Amino acid sequence: MLLGSRVWRSYALPVDHEAGRRTVERHQRAVREAVCAGLKAPRRSTVQLTGLLAVQRPGVGKAPRFLTADAVAVINLPGFDNSQMDGYAVRAADLANATPSDPVELPVGAPVPAGTQPPPLTPGTAAPVMTGAPIPDGADAVIKIEEADPPAFPEPGMAATVRFSAPVAPGTFVRRAGSDVAAGDVVVPAGTRLGPAQLGVLVAAGVTEVEVAEPPHVLLISTGSELVAAGEPLGPAQLYDANGAALTAALAEVGCRVTHRVVPDDPAALRAALAEPPDDVALVVTSGGVSAGAYEVVRQTLADAWFGHVAVQPGGPQGLGTIALRDPTAPRDVPLVAFPGNPVSALVSFELFLRPVLAEATGAVPAHRPRGRAPLAEAIDSPEHLHQVRRGRLDADGRVEMVGGPGSHLLAHLAMATLLVHVPPGVAHLDAGDDVDYWEIR
C-alpha cells in the first residue's frame, strides 16, 4: 500500500509525456471552453404541466426540468378550511365550561364526509367531520373522536348526543385555507428543479403552465459504413451501432435531449447530416472516424477542427471543432466533440471530457462521479506515457480487481464493471496492494 501511494503521487502531475499528445487535463479544459458557451443560456419555453407529467418523448429521457420563472399558486392550499382529524366540528364557545365532572353534551348533527360541502353548523351541536372534509361554517375547532364520549360516531341518521369533558381552543385541528400557500403567492420559485414534491404542489395549487429551461439538445452522429441500427438484420462484416445506444443513454442521464443519426464513412453524408441539425442544437457529438485510418470521415469532413491525440488509453484520438449554422436570422457556431469509435473509447471519452461539463450545465447529476482509492487485487501494467483508464470492481476485501483487459472493444466488460480505474501517466506497473484511484460508474 505504501509503495502504491509513492508511485501514484510522484507521477500525478499533468505533463505532456510525448510530443504532440495533449494531456487529459488540457483536453478537458479545451472541451469545457468549447462546449460551455452554448449551454450557458438555455432556451426557455412555456409548457403545459400535463405535458411535463406525460410520458417523456423518446430521447428526452428523464431530463430534469428547472423552472426559469416563478410559478404562482392559482388557488389556496389547502383550498378550504378542513379537518385534520376524524372527529367533531364544534363551536369552541359551546365547550367553554366543559369539565370531566360536568361534561358538555351536544346533539350530533349530520356527518361531513370528504368531498361534500356541509351546511352551516347549528350552534350548540357537534357535526361528525372526517379528515380533509370541510369545516362547516360556524364551527371553529375539531375534537378528535378518541376524546369524545362515546369515542365512536353514531350511525348516520340516528338521533344521538355526544359529551365533551374539556374546553377546546378555537382553531384546534383546523387546517386553514391557504396555510400551505396562498393563491397569488410563489409556490415554486425560478431555478428550482422539478422533483416529485414540486410537481405535486404545482398540480395541487392549480398551476397549468410553467416556464422551464429546455434540456440542451445534442445531435449525436454515429459514423461508420459498417454500422447497422439496433434490431435490423446484420450482413457480413457489419456490426450494431452500440455507440448510438450508449451515448444516447449517457447524454440523457446528464440531462440532455438527443437526436441520433447514423452516417456512413462518406464526407458528403456527414456534411448532409451536419447541414440540417435540429433547430435548437446546442452540441454535436460524433463517434468514429477520427483516427489514422483511410476512411476517417469526421476528420476528412471537418477541415478546420482540431484533431489529435490525447495521452489517454482508451480514447487517444479526439477531435474538437465547431459547426457554423447558417440560420439567416441567427447564424451561430455549435461546438462539435468527436470521439473515437471503439465503444469503450467512446464511453470513457464521454466520462473524461463531456460528462462533467454537461452535468454541471444541466444540474441533472453531480458533476463528478463518486471517487475512491483502494489497493489493487492484482498487478497491472500500463503504457508509461499514457493515462490509462481500466475497468474494474471492488472484490469482497475492498480491493480493486480488473474486469477484462485494457482493450477498447471490450464493451461487455465495461457493462459488468462498476469502476473506472485510473493509472496516471508515468506509471508503467503497479503491484497487487498498490493503491489506485477510481471513479464509481454505477
Q: Which residues bind ligand AMP (CB under 6 A)?
A: 222, 224, 226-227, 239, 241-244, 287-289, 291, 293, 340-343
Q: How far is the CB of 298 from ligand AMP (least distance, A)?
A: 8
Q: Select from 78, 136, 224, 314 the one that contacts Mg ion (CB under 5 A).
A: 224
Question: From the list Mg ion, ligand AMP, none, which binds 278 (C-beta under 5 to 8 Å, kind-based)?
Answer: none
Q: How far is the CB of 24 from ligand AMP (least distance, A)?
A: 19
Q: 434 vs 130, 426, 441, CA distance in Å?
A: 66, 15, 21
Question: From the list Mg ion, ligand AMP, none, which binds 242 (C-beta under 5 to 8 Å, kind-based)?
Answer: ligand AMP
Reference 218, options 286, 272, 267; nearest CA is 286
CA distance 170 to 138: 11
Residues 145-204 that bind Mg ion (CB under 5 A): none
Residues 6+ positions from 90 with CB-CB distance below 8 Å:
106, 121, 126, 127, 139, 140, 141, 142, 143, 164, 168
Reference 248, options 270, 267, 229, 232; nearest CA is 229
Segment near Mg ion (CB under 5 A), from 119-127, 131-139, 335-343, 395-403?
Answer: 335-343
Q: How far is the CB of 351 from ligand AMP (least distance, A)?
A: 17
Q: How far is the CB of 414 from ligand AMP (least distance, A)?
A: 12
Residue 139 vs 221, nearer CB to Mg ion: 221
Residue type at 163 in one-letter notation: R
Q: 29 vs 13, 23, 32, 220, 357, CA distance in Å?
A: 15, 10, 5, 21, 10
Q: Select from 4, 136, 341, 392 the one that contacts Mg ion (CB under 5 A).
A: 341
CA distance 273 to 263: 8
Neighbours of 399 (CB within 10 A): 17
Segment near Mg ion (CB under 5 A), from 117-125, 197-205, 253-261, 339-347?
Answer: 339-347
* 324 touches 312 (CB < 8 A): no
Question: From the list ligand AMP, Mg ion, none, which binds 291 (C-beta under 5 to 8 Å, kind-based)?
Answer: ligand AMP
Reference 311, options 410, 401, 409, 382; nearest CA is 382
Residues 285-304 that bind Mg ion (CB under 5 A): 288-289
Q: How far is the CB of 334 from Mg ion (least distance, A)?
A: 22
Interaction of residue 244 with Mg ion, rule CB under 5 A = no
Residue type at 394 in one-letter notation: L
- CB environment 12-21: b (16+ within 10 A), e (fewer): eeeeebeeeb
Q: How far is the CB of 311 from Mg ion (least distance, A)?
A: 22
Question: From the list ligand AMP, Mg ion, none, which binds 35 (C-beta under 5 to 8 Å, kind-based)?
Answer: none
Question: From the list Mg ion, ligand AMP, none, which binds 248 (C-beta under 5 to 8 Å, kind-based)?
Answer: none
Chain contacts with Mg ion (rule: CB under 5 A): 224, 288-289, 341
